[in-house]
């Protein structure tokens, strides 16, 4: 799931409402208009700036600044303005990072040949199982050593090892975490994900990683699915495809982790008669359904191209343009939703745990990506 | 469990349920857009 998925920040935000407290949809519509307008501005900037800078000393930089950077920067700027004017909460019903990113990823499925998914599936599953298990165990152990609250410990371990905010949401339901803990974990995910969007593609280039390895490293490390897409887009189309396959595989593991956490808290931590019992139906309930959409999109596009041949490439390129637009909406929403507030309330220990787990994730993830994805074919 | 914890749990459940609905919504919207574009039924001027 999700991912980040900053929408878990929704745990800490009110429904759109008027000053007298009534929910109102006009504010949400106004928010949608704002997000779409910012996305159109991003589309324009990412074409107009390189054109304007052509032939100048800024040409290289202008070429390198791609749409995820404009989108996140404009989102953060909009966040500042809306917070200063007290309008952000009213409009926040439209900041649906989860919906935008998942729709973008389903659309992305159409640009990935089924053969690429089939070729990357096995290494992606092996990497996801090994990496999620290792990072979850390390974070769980370290948080226990530092005396972090049991529920927050489960949220942090899920968020850093699987897929950010979505995993934190799933884990919060499984362990009955408080909304402050969910909001706090969501904020931590975003604080660490934002620099990773720029850092990992840069490091991948510095290390000379091939696109498949770079994509696997990015997909296995960055916690939020939206940030993985942003970093993948910066690293190139081939890296983006592999990063998405790896992230979607991690997403699919979330149901298993949520059920395991439910069982652990019911039988080991809570041990009360009223504790929720895990059910196998929870596996399906918590399974991120957009993963099915992603695979279905790849099947549809592969069959379509098989039938119409290269004449169908124009249509796929239209789907790609729509995909980039939805990803842009998601990146803008990341910036608009960001709240540092909950971070200040929880002290240094959870931040330390998350930071150490991220470094551990980076090191193990790089080793696994190099080992498993060295010969994987891309787009 | 204190009363405000119950309210907080309800909030977490609500967020989880929204996330699950968004999963299906994103799947349906994404696949619908793909089918419309591939079938040539999506207006070209709407493609950003």
pLDDT, tens only, A73-115: 899 999 999 999 988 888 888 888 888 888 988 998 898 888 8
Select the residue from B9, B43, B48 to test the A interface by mutation, using most A Cβ atoms within 10 A: B48
What does the pLDDT look like over A149-200, one tens digit per residue?
Answer: 888 888 888 888 877 776 777 677 667 777 677 777 877 887 888 888 889 9
Least Cα distance to A68 among A355, A356, A330 occurs for A330
Q: How many CB atoms lie within 10 A of CB A11?
A: 28
Tell me if B45 is assigned to some domain. no
CB–CB contact B44 A319 (8 Å)? no
- Stated as kind and residue range, the H or E segment containing A226 is helix A225-235
Residue A193's pLDDT is what? Answer: 84
CB–CB contact A319 B38 (8 Å)? yes
CB–CB contact A297 B18 (8 Å)? no
Tell which wins on pLDDT, A209 or A98. A209
- Which residue range is the domain that position B12 belongs to? 3-40
Select the residue from A4, A11, A104, A296 to test the B interface by mutation, using most B Cβ atoms within 10 A: A11
How far A360 CA lies from chain B's nearest CA (Å)?
28
Residue count of chain B: 48
Helix axes A313-337, A25-53, angle to 10 degrees: 110
Tell me if B29 is assigned to some domain. yes
Least Cα distance to A125 among A212, A216, A196, A204 occurs for A216
Please give the ipTM for the structure prediction. Answer: 0.75
What is the rounded CA–CA span in Å between residue A151 and residue A158? 11
CB–CB contact A297 B34 (8 Å)? yes
Instruction: Please determine, for residue A224, whether its predicted confidence score (pLDDT) is greater than 60.
Output: yes
Q: Which residue of B has its CA nearest to A324?
A: B48
Helix axes A290-308, A114-145, angle to 10 degrees: 160
Tell me if B48 is assigned to some domain. no
How far A169 CA lies from chain B's nearest CA (Å)?
6
Which two three-digit tokens encode residue B40?
A: 């040539």
What letter does residue A287 receive in the DSSP assignment?
Answer: S
Q: Is A181 exposed, middle or buried (0-12, 13-18, 19+ CB in 10 A)?
A: buried
Q: Is B19 on the interface with A (CB under 8 A)?
A: yes
Q: Among partner residues B15, B33, B42, which is closest to A11 by beta-carbon distance? A: B15
What is the rounded CA–CA span in Å between residue A214 and residue A204? 6
Tell me if B47 is assigned to some domain. no
Tell me if B10 is assigned to some domain. yes
What is the rounded CA–CA span in Å between residue A298 and residue A156? 33
Number of domains in chain B: 1
What does the pLDDT look like over A257-301, one tens digit per residue?
Answer: 767 777 777 666 655 555 555 566 666 776 778 888 888 999 999
Instruction: Collapse the DSSP code of A87 into the 3-class scheme (helix H, G, I; strand E, B; otherwise coil) and give the result.
Output: coil
Tell me if B32 is assigned to some domain. yes
How far A5 CA lies from chain B's nearest CA (Å)?
9
């Amino acid at each position: 799931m999700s991912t980040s998925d900053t929408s878990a920040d929704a745990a800490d935000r009110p429904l759109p409402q008027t000053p007298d407290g009534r929910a109102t949809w006009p504010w949400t519509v106004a928010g949608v208009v704002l997000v779409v307008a910012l996305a159109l501005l991003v589309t324009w900037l990412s074409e107009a700036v390189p054109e304007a800078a052509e032939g100048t000393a800024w040409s290289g930089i202008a070429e390198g600044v791609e749409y995820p950077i404009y989108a996140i920067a404009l989102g953060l700027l909009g966040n500042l303005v809306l917070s200063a004017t007290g309008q952000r909460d009213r409009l926040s019903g439209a900041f649906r990072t989860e919906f935008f990113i998942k729709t973008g990823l389903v659309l992305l499925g159409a640009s990935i040949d089924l053969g690429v998914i089939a070729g990357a599936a096995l290494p992606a599953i092996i990497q996801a199982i090994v990496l999620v298990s290792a990072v979850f165990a390390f974070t769980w152990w370290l948080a226990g050593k530092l005396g972090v609250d049991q529920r927050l410990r489960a949220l942090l371990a899920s968020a850093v090892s699987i897929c950010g905010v979505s995993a934190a949401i799933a884990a919060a339901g499984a362990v009955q975490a408080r909304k402050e803990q969910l909001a706090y974990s969501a904020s931590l995910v975003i604080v660490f994900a934002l620099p990773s969007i720029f850092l990992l593609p840069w490091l991948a280039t510095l290390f000379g990683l091939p696109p498949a390895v770079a994509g696997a490293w990015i997909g296995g490390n960055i916690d939020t699915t939206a940030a993985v897409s942003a970093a993948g887009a910066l690293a190139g189309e081939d890296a983006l495809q592999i990063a998405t396959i790896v992230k979607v595989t991690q997403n699919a593991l979330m149901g298993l982790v949520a059920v395991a956490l439910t069982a652990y808290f019911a039988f080991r931590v809570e041990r009360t008669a009223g504790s929720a019992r895990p059910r196998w139906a929870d596996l399906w309930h918590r399974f991120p359904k957009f993963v099915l959409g992603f695979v279905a999109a790849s099947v549809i596009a592969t069959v379509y191209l098989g039938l119409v041949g290269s004449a169908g490439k124009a249509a796929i390129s239209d789907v790609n343009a729509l995909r980039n637009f939805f990803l842009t909406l998601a990146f803008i929403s990341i910036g608009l939703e960001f709240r540092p507030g909950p971070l200040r309330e929880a002290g240094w220990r959870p931040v330390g745990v998350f930071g150490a787990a991220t470094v551990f994730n980076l090191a193990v993830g790089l080793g696994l990506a190099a080992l498993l994805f060295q010969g994987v074919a891309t787009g | 469990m204190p009363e405000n914890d119950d309210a907080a749990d309800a909030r977490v459940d609500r967020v989880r349920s929204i996330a699950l609905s968004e999963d299906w919504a994103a799947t349906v919207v994404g696949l619908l857009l793909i089918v419309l574009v591939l079938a040539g039924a999506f207006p070209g001027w709407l493609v950003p």
